């Protein structure tokens, strides 16, 4: 792989013979395409490829979430690459491959919460509750974030930044029921001053809070 801050003919992208040129983190990157292999992968290589495909399939419908959720981890790499690296590690180290056990949509050092509860009402509301950590360990005005990841690969994941604060220990979120049939729900907290920028000043790791079906 080769990289440059300025391409000699501008910002290049695409294929040139067996070279692939693209832009990443403000640099022009050149990769050599691997030679075509007639022999199918087996054993550990096949397992590694299968893991990669499974994780990418899930993360692809969460791209809009990952841009914000992994912004703090995007140092000398993109938020996508940071998220892919973390989730591949989680997936390979987790015996139970359910999303609840390995999917990470945001990552940073902000405090989490415990004892999450989720209920769905017939009129399209999600009711969440949680237990607050001791005040000296938490930021009580943090906003609640709700992530909804549908099972159907054709539907994109949803994100809702609620007006509810960490200290409230409960929240009601309006959602589009038609888009969330069979979905996993995750939650996290974000800096109270968050204004929609892709890179928040602080965010917690997400926690799985329940399944919608």
- List pLDDT tens digits, range 122-134: 777 899 999 987 7
CA distances from 134 to 48, 84, 115, 131 (A): 42, 33, 14, 10
pLDDT beyond 70 at 111: yes
Residues 126 and 86 in one domain: no
Residue whose C-alpha is closest to residue 111's, from 170, 201, 190? 190
Each residue of 12-67: pLDDT tens digit?
666 676 777 777 767 787 777 766 666 677 778 888 889 999 999 999 999 988 98
Quick check: is 78 in a domain? yes
SS3 state of residue 203: strand
Q: Give the 3-state secondary structure of residue 99.
A: helix
Q: What is d(CA 178, CA 166) in angstroms, rounded to the nearest whole number? A: 28
Q: Do residues 129 and 98 share a domain? A: no
What would the two tokens of residue 133 be?
Answer: 């950590």
Report the first-to-last Cα separation within the chain, whole angstroms.
45
Q: What is the pTM of this model?
A: 0.78
Q: Are residues 76 and 156 in the same domain?
A: no
Question: Rounded to an integer, what distance in angstroms lies between the CA atom of residue 120 and that of residue 213?
Answer: 10
Q: What is the CATH number of the domain that holds 205?
A: 2.60.40.10
Which among 60, 82, 102 is the end of a domain?
102
Same domain, 208 and 124: yes
- Give the count of alpha carbons within 13 A of 199, CB side only: 7
Average model confidence (pLDDT) across the chain: 84
Q: Residue 108 domain-assigned? A: no
Angle at CA of residue 96, ends 70 and 94, nearest 5°: 50
User: Residues 110, 119: contact at Cβ < 8 Å?
Assistant: no
Contact of 185 with 210, CB cutoff 8 Å: yes
Residue 10, domain member (yes or no): yes
DSSP string, 192-211: TT--S-SS-S-BBPPEEEEE
Number of domains in the chain: 3
Residues 67 and 139 in one domain: no
Instruction: Give the Cα separation of 26 and 7 in Å (integer).
Output: 11
Structural domain that includes position 71 = 43-102
Query: Are 130 and 168 in the same domain?
Result: yes
- Is there a single domain that holds both residue 73 and residue 148? no
CA–CA gap between residue 32 and residue 16 (Å, rounded):
10
User: Would residue 107 count as lying in a domain?
Assistant: no
Same domain, 62 and 141: no
pLDDT at 155 (0 to 100): 81
202 and 124 share one domain: yes
The residues pairing with 20 across neighbouring beta strands, listed in sequence order, are 15, 31
Taking only the tens place, the pLDDT of each residue in 62-96 is 998 898 999 888 888 899 999 999 999 999 999 99
Residues 119, 204, single domain; the answer is: yes
Q: Do both 193 and 122 map to the same domain?
A: yes
Q: Report yes or no on 193 lying in a domain.
A: yes
Q: 27 and 97, same structural domain?
A: no
- Residues 142-166: b if buried by 16+ CB within 10 A, e if exposed: bbbbbbbbbeeeebbbbbebbebbb
């Amino acid at each position: 792989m080769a990289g440059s801050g300025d391409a000699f003919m501008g910002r290049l992208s695409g294929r040139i013979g067996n070279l692939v040129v693209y832009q990443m983190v403000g640099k022009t990157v050149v990769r050599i395409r691997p030679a075509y292999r007639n022999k199918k992968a087996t054993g550990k290589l096949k397992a590694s490829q299968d893991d990669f495909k499974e994780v990418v399939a899930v993360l692809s419908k969460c791209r809009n979430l990952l841009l914000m959720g992994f912004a703090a981890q995007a140092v000398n790499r993109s938020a996508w690459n940071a998220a892919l690296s973390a989730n591949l590690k989680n997936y390979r180290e987790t015996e139970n491959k359910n999303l609840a056990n390995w999917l990470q949509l945001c990552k940073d050092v902000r405090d989490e919460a415990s004892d999450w509860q989720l209920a769905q009402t017939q009129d399209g509301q999600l009711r969440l509750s949680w237990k607050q950590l001791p005040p000296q360990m938490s930021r009580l005005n943090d906003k609640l974030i709700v992530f909804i990841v549908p099972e159907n690969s054709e539907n994109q994941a949803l994100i809702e930044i609620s007006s509810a604060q960490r200290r409230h220990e409960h929240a009601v979120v309006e959602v589009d029921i038609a888009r969330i049939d069979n979905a996993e729900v995750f939650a996290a907290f974000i800096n109270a001053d968050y204004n929609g920028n892709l890179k928040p000043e602080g965010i917690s790791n997400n926690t799985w809070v329940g399944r919608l079906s």
